[in-house]
Structure 1
Amino acid sequence: MLAAQAQKETTVNESLLAADVLLQPVVEGIAANPPATPLPGQCWIVGSAGTGAFAGHDSQIAAWSDGGWRFFAPMPGARVHDQGLGAERFYLGTWQKSVAPAAPLGGTVVDTQARSSIAAIIQLLTASGIFSVT
């Protein structure tokens, strides 16, 4: 803000909205079309070939506020929690999700304790939202 700036509250309000959306980002999911009745504070990742208010904002985070849609371009490494997916998504040029590796199977020597431990680790990472089940 500048000392003689008019409408300082606008600058402050926009900054608070950006902080609210980007500090602990949670999205409802991915949508190419804006939802009909979003609630203030709800966010979506804009899907490819966005339409309506989402047109031209592919891969950005769209946040609904009383003033309308606000769009935020992700930086490489950005992470969001996707409510619909129940897991994290991360941005590396496109929005991606981590998928759990396959549990170890087969082999010439069966080590049940190691396999059991690896399966438990995969299960915990999936339950915590690090890995996606789909």
Structure 2
Amino acid sequence: MTDDVTARLALPLLSAGQAQKEMTHNEALTLLDLFAHPVVLAIGIDTPPATPVAGQCWIVGAAPTGVWAGHARHLAGWSDGGWRFCIPKTGMRVWNLSDASEALFDGSGWSVGVVRGSRLEIDGVQVVAAQQSTIAEPSGGTVADIEAREAISAILAALHTHGLIAA
């Protein structure tokens, strides 16, 4: 096989005059099939599964054992030819079937289930934006309206709980 690989996914490249080009080409297709838009069965697993099925992938844990040793935090995929590994790049995302969430590689580790953004829109309507400054609790006044104060306090508590305003 050739030593020439692509910069991002380390897919093997064909060389001029190379014999058995189909092996290099098939290896590249296998790696693409496993690691382009990856879906994993679990994240942080240190022991390879005993009976993997071709096409299944996992994110290796921090202290891998067996054939996964030396591949901490990598993607591990099983193919008909055995284990294939992908070193994650910053910004790589995977879908985790075990908890139906996305994981993002930040350059040193995987963030699981964290959604990042500057606002949330549903049907083109912004429903959540960046956290706003705190709102003072109601107090005092010339007329004591306990129900109004309790309602306002409940609204503020909900806003605090959801992180929409600072506590």
User: TM (normalized to structure 2)?
Assistant: 0.59
Alignment of 1:10-49 (within 5 A): 10-30=23-43, 31-49=45-63
Unaligned runs of 5+ in 1: 120-134
CA distance in 2, matches of 1:50, 1:58: 6
Equivalence for 1:132: none
Moved over 3 A (4+): 106-112
Equivalence for 2:109: 94
User: If each structure's helix is expressed as a fraction of its own residues, which one has the higher value?
Assistant: 1
Percent sequence identity is: 44
CA distance in 2, matches of 1:15, 1:62: 15
Counterpart of 2:84, as a letter, is R
- Which of 72, 92, 101 pairs up with 1:78? 92
Comparing 21-30 with 62-71, which one deviates more in the overlay? 21-30
Unaligned runs of 5+ in 2: 1-13, 116-130, 139-151, 163-167
Counterpart of 1:62, as a letter, is A
Contact 2:102–2:114 (8 Å) recurs in 1 = no
- Which of 63, 67, 79 pairs up with 2:81? 67
CA distance in 2, matches of 1:23, 1:64: 14
Q: 1:99 to 1:108 in 2, by over 3 A?
A: farther
CA distance in 2, matches of 1:107, 1:17: 59
Q: 1:9 to 1:84 in 2, by over 3 A?
A: same
CA distance in 1, matches of 2:19, 2:26: 14
Could you tell me how far 1:107 is from its partner in structure 2? 6.6
Q: How many residues align?
A: 111
Q: Which has the higher contact order (CA 8 A, sep 6+)?
A: 1
User: TM (normalized to structure 1)?
Assistant: 0.73
